[in-house]
Structure formats: C-alpha cells, structure tokens
Amino acid sequence: MSMIKVISTNRAIAEAVKMCKPEVVPVFPITPQTTISEYLAQFVADGDLRAEYIMVESEHSSISAAVGASGAGVRTFTATSSQGLALMHEILFVAAGMRTPIVMGNANRALSAPLSIWNDQQDSISERDTGWMQFFAENAQEAMDFVIQAYKISEDHEVLLPSMVCVDGFILTHTVEPVDIPSQEDVDKFLPPYEPISYLDPKDPMSLGTFTDPDYYMEARHDMEVAMEGAKDIIRRVNKEFEEVFGRKYDLVEKYKTEDAEIILIAMGSICGTIKTVIDRLREKGEKVGLLKLISYRPFPQEDIYEAVKRARRIAVLDKNISFGIGGVLFNEIKAKMDVDASGFILGLGGREVSPDDIIGIVEKTRNPTTETNQINWIGLKEEE
Amino acid sequence: MDIPEKEFLAPGHRACAGCGATIGVRLALKMLGENTVAVSATGCLEIITTPYPETSWKIPWIHVAFENAGAVASGVERALKAQGKDDVTVVAFVGDGGTADIGLQSLSGAMERGHNLIYICYDNEAYMNTGVQRSGATPYGASTTTSPHGKESFGENKPKKNIPMIMAAHGVPYVATASISYPEDFMKKVQKAKEIEGPAYIHLHQPCTTGWGYDPSKTIELGRLAVETGSWLLYEIEEGEFKITYRPLERKPVNVYLEAQKRFKHLADEEKEKIQNYVDQVCAELKI
C-alpha cells in the first residue's frame, strides 16, 4: 500500500533512493542538496538502507567513487548541486563514457560568481553535453517518481547512460508537499535488481576505462549518441510500466492545454506550476494559452515538442540559464531543431522571483512581439537608476 | 624468499625499454595474486598497458581519471564489500604526479576513511607521461622541462615532497617506502600491505630511463645507487612503529648517483655538495 505523506522534495528523493536499494552511496553535502545526504545517512544509520555510505571529501570524489562502485557492479546513488556539479564536470563525461548507470539528484542552483545559493538551472544545463540524461521535476511527487524510473532507464542494457534528476533548489528541495510514497513491494515489482554487463570480477577479468587511439574513439562516442536517441523509446516504455504499477502517467514532455493554444510557453521544472495557474486564469478570460513542460531535457524530444507546438501561432521559451552571447540554451535548441516563431525569455537567475504577473507579461510579449521582444528578453531585471 | 612464478601483467605493453614502473607492477601483482582488482590513475602505466582493444592486465582493472584514484578505489572497495567479496584485494597504482600533486586530496580522503586498500605510488620523480615535467616528487637539482637548468637556474629548486610521511600522519596502519631494485624488500612489504586490514601506502621508487637520462640497461643499477647513496631510504611504519628495512653497509657518495643521470649533469659542485649535506643530515638522524 502506498501512503500519502507531507514531505520535502529532498525527502522524497531520499525515500525514492531508499526503495531503489543502491549498494554504494558516496555523497558530499552542498546547499540546497544537503538534506538528501543527511536523510540517506540516517537511513543507513537506522538500518533502513543497506548501503555503503561513503562520506567523501569532495563532489569530485563522490562521482569518482560512484564510477568505481558502478564499475565494480553495484547500483549507486549520489546527489549534488551547482558548484559541486561543476566540480564533477570532468568525471561526468567519464561516467557516461564508461556507460555507468549512476543516478544522481541535482538541486538546481546558480553558479558563482557572484556566489548564490538560490535557484536557477545553469548548473545542469551546463552539463548538457556530458552524456547524462536529465529529467526536470515540477514537484516533489515527480522527483520521487523520476528517481525510481531513472534507475530503470539508465540500467536498461540498450541505454547504460547515467541520469540526473533535477529539482529546483529551495523552491522544491525545501518545500513540503503531499507525496504519494509507493510501497517497497511495488517498487520491487517495478525495478528489478541491477544486472551489470561488464564489471570488475576476478573470475572474469576485464579492463575498464582504457585508452583509445583515433581508430576507436569516434565509434565509442557514436554508440553513446545512438543510446541517447534510443533512450527516448525506453523512457516511453518505462513510463508506461510505471503507470501500470503506480497509476501515475508520465512522458518525455507534458502538454498542458496545448491542443487549441495560440500561445504556448515551453519551460522546465517548478516554474511550470506557476505557469499552469496563470494559464487557467487566462483561459477563464478566453485566452488560448498552453504550456509544454519539458521533462526530459536529455534526451531532447524534439519530435514531441514540435508535435505539441506546431499549430500554435507563437512560442515563448523560458530559460533559467544563459549562454552568454547567444541567450537561453533551451530557446536556442528549440530554434535550432524546429521551424517555430519563438521569443526567448531569461528569468529567475540566482533565485530572482518569478511572479504570475511576470508570466502574464511573457504571454503578452509573445503575443505582440516587437523587433526588440522577438529576441532575448530579461524578465524581472531591475531598471538601471 | 619464494617468488611466485605466475605473471599478471602480460608482456607486449608499450612501455619504454628499461621501464621501472612495469617492473614494480609486475612484482607487486605476483604477491597480490589473481583475486585482486587494480585501479590506475591516468599516466604512463595506464597508457602503456591498455591501448584499446588490448590490455596487459590479467586481473580486473579500472581507470577513471588522473586525480581521483583514491576515490575510485574507495568506491570499488565498498562495492566489493557490499557484495560480500571481502576476500578481493583492491590495489591502486598511481604515479608521483597523481599522488603528490593532483591526486593528493583524493588519496588523503581514502586514507582517512580507512578503506581496506593498498595504494602504491610508482615514483619516477616527474610527469613522465607528458614528457618530463617537474612534480612535487622531483628531487632538488633535477632538470626537467618545466624546471630546466639555464643561465640563472640549476633546475628544480625545492626538495622532494615527503609523501610517505604525509601518509603516516594520517595514522594508517601501514606505510612503507620501497625500490624496484630491492625486489624482495618490496614484495615483502606488498605482502604485509595485503594482510593488514585497512589502508596501506607503499611509495615505490623507480628509475625512469627516459626522464632521468641513462641507458635502459641501467634501470636496476640506478635504483640501487639511489639507496646505496642514501638518496632514497627503505623503511616501513607499521602501526606507528618506524623501522629501517635496509641499511647500506657503506653509504656511497651521492655524486655516483647524480653523475649517472643526465637530469643532474648540469649541477655545479656547490649544488652537489648541498645535496650531499642534505642526505648526510637525513641519514645521520636515522643512523644510516
């Protein structure tokens, strides 16, 4: 029997991890991920999670130990945020290249400088090319459900790529919500024990992480691209299997009132909650506005996005990140992958609040673009005095 | 001493003729046996032994990056423990750059946490894989490509970082120094490290024909000269107990060691004297 409890998103992630039974958990605390590492430590201390908990001395070491443990054939979990994720950067490539199906929680937080502990999504967006899958949760329930599904997706032998479950720092990590916590029995039914293909075994010695010359490197990278593309179908299948056991339906994207929408907003993470509320209000006034929530940022479901937005008159892409000199990363990816009339909006950097009125302003700017607003728009920026 | 005949590092790897590192690994693996998992940092050893699709490793082996062998070995050790494979030995082979410099934090964390693993630093006293740049383990006076001698330089101007003592300060149960030129001494230490519960650190001195500048046939001879002149000391620290494991009958002048290598050829008498004085001082303290 599942049970509804009012818990924070970090707690939801920790509860999900506990039920997925990783055997090695190397973590290093960082705001606002910290409580994930604390909950997991307590689970281990109480004997509720039978895992080797390694209190490493840095995030570089937490991901390195996770690669070592995964290489030795066990399910692993780690979690981080912002500076910690950036410190892991080098090893994120290795983890994906060595095809270790690590699952990691990332509390999305701004990158220094100036130092900020508050939310934006620059950290994980900046790791988009590492070969990790990235799933963005809107709320605590999704964070929990995505962790459970991430193991099944990553560990699929057709995929074997690591996953990041991304949750907006503080906005989600420290906010309590009612969460339907599944039973261990159901999680066991859904998620089979991890079966590694190649691992460190003295009975069948293998060399992992070898050196390649130009004769082999490209094929290894191509294999990763094939796996990442193929992961879309695996994700759809796993979503379906998840629905069968737990009754909650997911997809690579979530379409919210997009069917007849003239204006569609594209966004990721907790902001989607605010957007849905605004859409409901605007719809009451007869305005045809919709939301395309991107759940799977990598793999990038361009077909699903295009299918959902192609009939709209105009699109607004909301980015909690910036690639200096070119604008929001998601905006540019959408523009590169499909022929749509879109405006880009940079917002919420370093925890800058995004209000329902800001969303209404975005809808207005998108509906009536000027030469200026058709480019990159900064939302909530203080006027220069 | 009975030296096991079975080999776990296959020939045909890409090491230079006269490579000291591979001699060390070969000897260590003989003692550790087949029920062992090896971790390597990026460096000479990793490059020469695993050109895909070939490998010299007859035991399971993993490489992740340059600076994280301590953390990777920690993860491997805990994963084996979680699977009840407590009988498998975990050994890390890491160069002096990956140990004394870029990997020191990761190594320190692994030692502090008390993982049951053996960490062997193969010390050739510079970044040899990238072409002889100085490391924290480069000795005073050595000319490297980044500490070259010149009109205003006599080469490396700082003494070698004392990593074994830094490891001993972690309070780990076993720390030892060794040389590939004293195989029995080294192999006994590997055996001890294997038997001890908890982290063991062995700092293995190994001449490098390419980086030090000597004929490839002289590798073992150079390693001996280092020890016979007191330039490298063989000791172990077992549960905090310091013990010299080899004392030269008569300590040779440091000059015979320095003059056998191109990296010290430029040294003026004044600098050589400084090195001799330093060695004399250390050896006097230890009664060598």
Q: What is the pLDDT of residues A244-290, one digit of tens each?
A: 999 999 999 999 999 999 999 999 999 999 999 999 999 999 999 99
Q: Which of residues 31-60 of B touch A (CB under 8 A)?
A: 34-37, 39, 46-47, 50-53, 55, 57-60
Residue A385 has pLDDT above 70, yes or no: no
Q: Which amino acid is at A211?
A: F
Inter-chain touch B75–A76, beta carbons under 8 Å:
yes
Q: Is B171 on the interface with A (CB under 8 A)?
A: no
Tell me which of A134-143, A168-177, A370-379, B230-239 is least confident.
A370-379
Q: Give chain B's residues under pLDDT 50.
A: none
Count chain A–chain B contacts defined by CB atoms under 8 A: 157
0.95 surpassed by pTM: yes
Inter-chain touch A26–B75, beta carbons under 8 Å:
yes
Helix (H) or strand (E) holding B257: helix B254-258
Cβ-nearest to B60 among A58, A76, A206: A206
* CA nearest to B51 within chain A: A211
B78: Cβ contacts below 8 Å, ≥ 6 apart: A24, A26, A52, A54, A65, A69, B115
Q: What are phi and psi of B5, to 5 degrees?
A: -80, -25
Residue A297 has pLDDT above 70, yes or no: yes
What pLDDT does B148 receive? 98
Supply the mean pLDDT for chain A: 97
- Report which of B10, B6, B7, B94 is spatially closest to residue B56, judged by C-alpha positions: B10
* CA nearest to B84 within chain A: A23
Paired tokens of B169? 């300060």
Inter-chain touch B74–A54, beta carbons under 8 Å:
yes
What pLDDT does B160 receive? 97
Residue A201 has pLDDT above 90, yes or no: yes
For range A37-47, the mean pLDDT: 98
| Band (A22; pLDDT cuts 50, 70, 90) | very high
Is this complex's ipTM strictly greater than 0.85?
Answer: yes
Other C-beta atoms closer than 10 Å to the C-beta of B30 total: 18
What pLDDT does A384 receive? 65
What pLDDT does B1 receive? 86
Q: Is B80 on the interface with A (CB under 8 A)?
A: yes
What pLDDT does A376 receive? 85
Q: What are phi and psi of A306, to 5 degrees?
A: -60, -45
Cβ-nearest to B65 among A24, A91, A200: A91
Q: Which residues in chain B touch residue A213, judged by CB atoms under 8 angstroms apart?
A: 51-52
For range A216-230, the mean pLDDT: 98
- Report which of B116, B148, B123, B104 is spatially closest to residue B24, judged by C-alpha positions: B123
For range A127-139, the mean pLDDT: 98
Q: Which residues in chain A touch residue B51, judged by CB atoms under 8 angstroms apart?
A: 210-213
For range A295-323, the mean pLDDT: 98
| Band (A371; pLDDT cuts 50, 70, 90) | confident
Q: Which residues in chain A touch residue B74, judged by CB atoms under 8 angstroms apart?
A: 26, 54, 56, 61, 65, 68
Cβ-nearest to A64 among B52, B71, B82: B71
What pLDDT does A344 receive? 96
Q: Which residues in chain B touch residue A69, judged by CB atoms under 8 angstroms apart?
A: 75-76, 78-79, 82
Residue A91 has pLDDT above 90, yes or no: yes
| Band (A374; pLDDT cuts 50, 70, 90) | low
What pLDDT does A372 receive? 72
* Sign of CA pseudo-dihedral B194, B195, B201, B206: negative
Q: CA-CA distance, B5 to B26, in Å (whole number)?
A: 11
Alpha helix (H) ranges present in chain A? 9-20, 34-45, 59-71, 82-97, 122-125, 140-155, 184-190, 217-246, 271-284, 302-309, 329-337, 356-367
For range A166-183, the mean pLDDT: 98
Q: Is B76 on the interface with A (CB under 8 A)?
A: yes
